[in-house]
Amino acid sequence: MIDYLNSRSRAFIVATAGAGIVLLGVIDYLTGRELFFSIFYLLPVSAVAWFVGRRAGLVASVAAATCWLLAELADHAPYSSPAVPFWNTSVRLAFFVIVTLTLSSLRLVRQRQESLMQFIVHDLRSPLAIILTGLQTLEEVGGERPDQGEQKIIAHGIAAATHMQILINSLLDLPHLRSGKMPLQMASVDAKELVESVVRNIEPWAQRRQMTLAVECGEGAEPVRADEQLLSRVLTNLLSNAVKFSPSGSTISIRVSPAQGEMLAFQVVDQGPGIPSEWWDRIFDKFVRVEAHDQGASLGSGLGLNFCRLAVEAQAGRIWLESSGQGSAFTFILPSVNHRSRRGWPLGRSSNRAI
C-alpha cells in the first residue's frame, strides 16, 4: 500500500482523503451514537500528512474535525450545554493536529536521511570508477607479460569493483523504482548472451569460493523485451546472493526457459541453507532480513531483493521464491519479444506459484 501511494500524485491522495472524510461524516450521521467511527478519521488525515505534507495535513485535520462536528450537530442529540459539541471538536482537532505535525516531521527527517544516503552513495561512484579503470589498465598491461597469479588477483579485483558499482547504481535507482518514475530503455535482449555476460563477471568470485556456475538455456528461449542494464543488475543481485550464502564447493544453476503466456523464465538455484516458508511472502519487501533454516543468522541487508522485485515489476514481470530445507530457487518471468500485452495483466505483484 505504501509503495502504491508513493507512486500516486499528491492531487490523487488529497482527493481520495477528502472523499474518505466526507464518507466518514455521512456514516457518522447515519449511525448516530450507536457506532463510533472516530478513529477512522485518522486514516485520511495521516495519509495526507505523510505523503503530501504538513500544510495539506493541517487542512485535512480541520476538514475532518468540521465534518465530525456537522454530523454531531445534525444528530440533534441533547447536551448539558450547547458548547459541548464545539468543545469536543476542539479536542478532536487538537488530536488531529498533533498527529499531523508528528507524521510530517518524521517524514521530513526520513527524506533528509534518504537524501544524505543518496548523496554519499552517489559520491562513491567517482573513486570506484578510478579504481575500476586502474584495474582494467593493469589487466591490459599484464596481457603483455602474463603472470597467472597476478592476472587472477586483478580479475578478482575487477569483479568486486564491478559488483560494487552495480550495487551503488541499484541503491540510487531504488527511489525511482518505488515511485514508478524510473526511465526504462526497453528493447529486445538476447537472454542467453546476457546471462553469460553476468556469469563472467561473477565467476571470479565464485571460483575463489570453489563454486561452479552452471548455465542452462532451454530450447525455444526467445529474446526478452526488457531494459538490458536493469535486467543485468537483477541477475547480478540474485547470483551474488547465491554465491554469498552457498557452501564452498557447491553448484549454482542459472536456468533460462520459455514459460506460459509467451513469457521467459529466469531461475537462480543455489545449495544454500534454505529459507523458511513464513518468509516467502515478505522476503522481497524493503529492509526484510531473513533467518536461515540452519544458521540462525540474518541473511542480507534487505535492499537487494527489494530492488529485484521493483525492477522486475517495472518491466511487466513477476518474481517469486521456492525453497526447501536445503537450497533456494529465485524465479522471475518477463515478456518475450512476441508477447502481446493483455488487459488486466497482474503488474506489481509477486507470487510463489511454480511456472
The yes-or-no verdict on residue 266 having pLDDT over 90 is yes
Range with lowest mean pLDDT among 77-81, 99-103, 252-256, 298-302: 298-302
Contact 178, 310 (CB under 8 A): yes
**101: amino acid identity, one letter:** L
Q: Where does the pLDDT of residue 289 fall: very low under 50, low under 70, confident under 90, or very high at 90 and above?
A: low
| Rounded-to-integer distance, Cα 84 and Cα 80, Å | 8
Q: Residue 326: which region, alpha, beta or left (left: phi > 0; alpha: psi -120 to 50)?
A: beta
* 176 vs 287, higher pLDDT: 176
Rounded to an integer, what distance in angstroms lies between the CA atom of residue 257 and that of residue 191? 10
What is the distance of C-alpha 108 from the center of its chain? 21
CA 227-231-232 angle, to 5 degrees, is 120
Q: CA 304, CA 234: separation in Å to the nearest integer?
A: 9
Contact of 293 with 274, CB cutoff 8 Å: yes
Q: Residue 351 pLDDT > 50, yes or no?
A: no
Alpha-carbon distance of 270 to 317, in angstroms, equals 22
C-alpha cell at position 13:
491522495
Q: Share the mean pLDDT of the chain.
A: 80
**Dihedral pair phi/psi, residue 257, rounded to 5°:** -155, 155
Which of the listed ranges 101-105, 127-131, 349-353 does the model predict with the highest average pLDDT? 101-105
pLDDT (mean) for 321-346: 73
Please state, in angstroms and rounded to a whole number, the distance separating the CA atoms of residues 15 and 29: 21
**Is residue 129 over pLDDT 90?**
no
Distances (CA, A) of 48 to 5, 53, 110, 112, 326: 10, 7, 16, 19, 46
CB atoms within 10 A of CB 58: 19
Nearest to 170 by CA among 208, 215, 124, 213: 124
255, three cell numbers: 536456468
Phi, psi of 79 (to 5 degrees): -125, 155
pLDDT at 16: 92
Q: Looking at residue 146, what is its pLDDT?
A: 56
3-state secondary structure the chain: CHHHHHCCCHHHHHHHHHHHHHHHHHHHHHHCCCCCCHHHHHHHHHHHHHHCCHHHHHHHHHHHHHHHHHHHHHCCCCCCCCCHHHHHHHHHHHHHHHHHHHHHHHHHHHHHHHHHHHHHHHHCHHHHHHHHHHHHHHHHHHCCCCCHHHHHHHHHHHHHHHHHHHHHHHHHHHHHHHHCCCCCCEEEECHHHHHHHHHHHHHHHHHHCCCEEEEEECCCCCCEEEEHHHHHHHHHHHHHHHHHHCCCCCEEEEEEEEECCCEEEEEEECCCCCCCHHHCCCCCCCCCCEECCCCCCEECCCCHHHHHHHHHHHCCCEEEEEECCCCEEEEEEEEECCCCCCCCCCCCCCCCCCC
Mean pLDDT of 268-288: 78
CA distances from 334 to 117, 130, 180, 237, 261 (A): 31, 35, 18, 17, 10
Using the predicted structure, report yes or no on whether residue 149 has a pLDDT greater than 80: no
Looking at the predicted structure, is the pLDDT value of residue 4 above 80?
A: no
Confidence of residue 342 (pLDDT cuts 50, 70, 90): very low
The per-residue b/e assignment along 237-252, b for 16 or more CB within 10 angstroms, e otherwise, is: bbbbbbbebbeeebeb
